[in-house]
Copies of this chain bind each other. A is one copy, B any other.
Amino acid sequence: MIGSRFVTAVMVAFTSLGPVWAQAEDTTMRNDVQMVAPALAKYTRDRLLGEVWKRPGLSARDRSIVTLAALIARDQTIEMAFYLDLALDSGVKPREISEIITHLAFYSGWANAISAVAVAKDVFAARGIGPDQLPAASPPLLPLDGAAEAERAARVSKQFGATAPGLVQYTTDILFHDLWLRPDLAPRDRSLVTVSALIASGQVAQIPYHLNRAMDNGLTQPEAAEVITHLAFYAGWPNAMSALPVAKDVFEKRRH
């Protein structure tokens, strides 16, 4: 189980012994929310933090990654520092956060990544996270799955090579022969980030390929379902509901 030690720590923080997280939530937002929308304060405490985050289908580490991906994909910085801290407390490494931001420059847009940098910089500084904990700019890459990648490249090239040859070439060169092979974020987590960003920004058409890839990379079907459930809260019910028929179709086709 990835980061189970940290999950436990967060669970404890959630409940009785270590109210660190609850305190942070208090100081940043609880008063304001209570003064404008008491019901929202109640739902946040009882349902979102008190229940959704504790559901067994997805670890707190994974939920942190999903939440960060959603916030970056939607360019919402208002609670990003809080969730960056929570991610670090839940076992997400600084180098993984660095890679998540870099990854989403390509999958959500450059400015989204730059906005996240502006927040992460302060969180890293407050924790004394320096360059030694960050990924190298050009590390040795993971091995390429040549057969699968050749199939993908051929398919996309046949489909769009004549329409936008530059984009097709960049997709191969920068994304699948480079970004996806960077070693400081596991392929399964990179897929988790990608799928979360797609669902969170309503990019339904791109979900099938990346959900299949995520499951090839080790994301289980119950975890995928739980990602959608989690994102209902962070990206709104409509984005979650629009992802459901697509996910259902992917799940069914993989069964055969």
Contact = CB atoms under 8 A, between A and B. Distances in A.
A215 interface: no
A212 interface: no
Contacts of A112: 76, 236
B203 A242 contact: yes
Contacts of A170: 229, 232
Interface string A217-245: 00000000110110011111111111011
B175 A36 contact: no
Given A164-B225, A205-B242, A110 B234 contact: yes
A33 interface: yes
A166 B229 CA distance: 6
A200 B108 CA distance: 10
A36 B110 contact: no
Interface residues of A, number: 93
A110 B74 CA distance: 12
B48 A225 contact: no
Number of copies: 3
A216 interface: no
A35 B124 contact: yes
Given A40-B101, A99-B39, A206-B241, A111 B74 contact: yes
A172 interface: no
B38 A136 contact: yes
A200 B109 CA distance: 9
A37 interface: yes
A237 B175 contact: yes
Interface in A26-84: 29, 32-33, 35-44, 47-48, 55, 57, 70-71, 74-76, 78-79
Contact of A167 (B113, B160, B232): B232
Instruction: Give the 3 A-B residue pairs with the shortest CB-CB distance, closest first.
Output: A76-B111, A38-B137, A167-B229
